[in-house]
């Protein structure tokens, strides 16, 4: 059993560099090329796209959905799905705003909001693993619970009157790059390291790719399942806190549709909804592409309803292409 475990780890480690290079050349390279083409088209379609103001807005928009998408990357690699992330964003947003209005400092609020989000993720992991409830059903139920709690805490109203020193964070930049985007990239780098260079990352790919083989090799499937949902919850909570700085208020309706955007970013980035595939670099480019489509559509005056249809079609097409590739 020990030899099998070590063998799987060593084989996985040996394949990782080759697999990473292959992914860059096949999926991420093509995705980045598509992103550049879309940017060029938008630069001709509207004179406002490549302005400094719009580029900063695009980076801020990408940062929020990108952080949620990184959390979703862990879950999807582990052959799960988390439909509660948008509601966790709203819950974290509302809790942060309420505590700020009560006069709490950000250093006191951060642990509370993040711990609450992590507990939501832990509950998702427990229900799916211990209760054998399908991930889709468990997180769908949690989506309704968290949204309901956010509405109850806020009494269905927006929470205004947040301190200026907190809300100004979203407008601050370093070298012309918004702080929100710097935080996003930092989280992406750390997550890429975790997935590529740690035992947990190897175990997550193993559990998502072949559950039976992972179990036989001694991988702690319970720990992997719990961890992937806790990380997803934590990052959704972090996104909710950062969204509060951008909105300058608490909104119980915040984060609606984020689960769809996050899934789109991860799947477009090369992950498989059946688990065992994907990486953070692809998710980062996927989040940029999703945000670019929204941003460009707004600049061109496209109806927001069509924007949702567009993202849904993208998800279906990406999964279809993935299935054709696997059959081929």
Instruction: Please check the confidence at residue 98 and state whether its pLDDT lies above 70.
Output: yes
65 near 261, Cβ under 8 Å?
yes
Instruction: Please check the confidence at residue 183 and state whether its pLDDT lies above 90.
Output: yes
Outline where 24-105 has alpha helix (H): 29-45, 52-77, 85-101
Instruction: Please check the confidence at residue 2 and state whether its pLDDT lies above 60.
Output: no
**pLDDT number for residue 302:** 86
Q: How many CA atoms lie within 13 A of 154 on its CB side?
A: 26
- Count each helix (H run) and each strand (E run) in the chain, helices first: 14, 2
The per-residue pLDDT for range 138-165, each reduced to its tens digit, is 999 999 999 999 999 999 999 999 998 8
d(CA 68, CA 51): 26
233 near 143, Cβ under 8 Å?
no
296 near 46, Cβ under 8 Å?
yes
48 phi and psi angles, rounded to 5 deg: -95, -10
The per-residue pLDDT for range 238-286, each reduced to its tens digit, is 999 999 999 999 999 999 999 999 999 999 888 988 898 889 999 999 9
DSSP state of 158: -
**pLDDT number for residue 8:** 46
205-208 long-range Cβ contacts below 8 angstroms, 24+ apart: 205/12, 205/77, 205/276, 205/277, 206/8, 206/12, 206/276, 207/78, 207/79, 207/275, 208/76, 208/77, 208/78, 208/79, 208/80, 208/275, 208/276, 208/277
Percent of the chain with pLDDT over 90: 69
For domain 2-327, give its CATH number from 1.10.357, 1.10.287, 1.20.120, 1.10.3470: 1.10.3470
Closest CA relative to residue 253, chosen from 122, 140, 124, 159: 159
141 vs 309, residue with greater confidence: 141
89 vs 278, residue with greater confidence: 89
**What is the pLDDT averaged over residues 208-212?**
90
Instruction: Please check the confidence at residue 31 and state whether its pLDDT lies above 80.
Output: yes
d(CA 187, CA 237): 13
307 CB neighbour count, 10 Å cutoff? 17
302 vs 117, residue with greater confidence: 117
């Amino acid at each position: 059993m020990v030899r099998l475990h070590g063998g799987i780890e060593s084989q996985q480690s040996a394949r990782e560099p080759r697999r990473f290079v292959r992914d860059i050349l096949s999926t991420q390279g093509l995705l980045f090329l598509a992103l550049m083409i879309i940017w060029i088209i938008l630069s001709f379609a509207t004179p406002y796209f490549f302005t400094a103001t719009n580029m900063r807005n695009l980076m801020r928009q990408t940062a929020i959905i990108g952080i949620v998408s990184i959390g979703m990357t862990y879950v999807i690699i582990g052959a799960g799905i988390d439909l509660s992330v948008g509601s966790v964003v709203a819950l974290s947003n509302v809790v942060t705003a309420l505590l700020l209005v009560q006069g709490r400092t950000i250093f006191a609020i951060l642990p509370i909001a993040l711990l609450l989000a992590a507990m939501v993720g832990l509950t998702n992991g427990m229900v799916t693993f211990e209760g054998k409830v399908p991930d889709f059903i468990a997180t769908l139920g949690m989506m309704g619970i968290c949204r309901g709690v956010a509405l109850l805490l806020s009494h269905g109203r927006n929470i205004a009157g947040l301190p200026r020193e907190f809300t100004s964070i979203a407008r601050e930049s370093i070298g012309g790059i918004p702080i929100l985007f710097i935080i996003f990239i930092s989280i992406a780098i750390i997550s890429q390291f975790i997935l590529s260079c740690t035992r947990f990352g190897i175990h997550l790919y193993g559990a998502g790719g072949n559950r039976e083989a992972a179990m036989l090799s001694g991988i702690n499937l319970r720990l992997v399942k719990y961890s992937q949902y806790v990380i997803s919850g934590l990052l959704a909570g972090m996104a909710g806190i950062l969204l509060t700085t951008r909105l300058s208020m608490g909104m119980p309706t915040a984060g609606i549709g984020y689960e769809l955007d996050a899934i789109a970013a991860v799947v477009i980035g090369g992950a498989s909804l059946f688990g065992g595939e994907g990486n953070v670099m692809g998710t980062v480019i996927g989040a940029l592409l999703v945000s670019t489509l929204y941003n460009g559509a707004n600049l061109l005056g496209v109806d927001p309803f069509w924007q949702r249809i567009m993202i849904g079609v993208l998800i279906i097409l990406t999964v279809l292409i993935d299935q054709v590739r696997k059959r081929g």
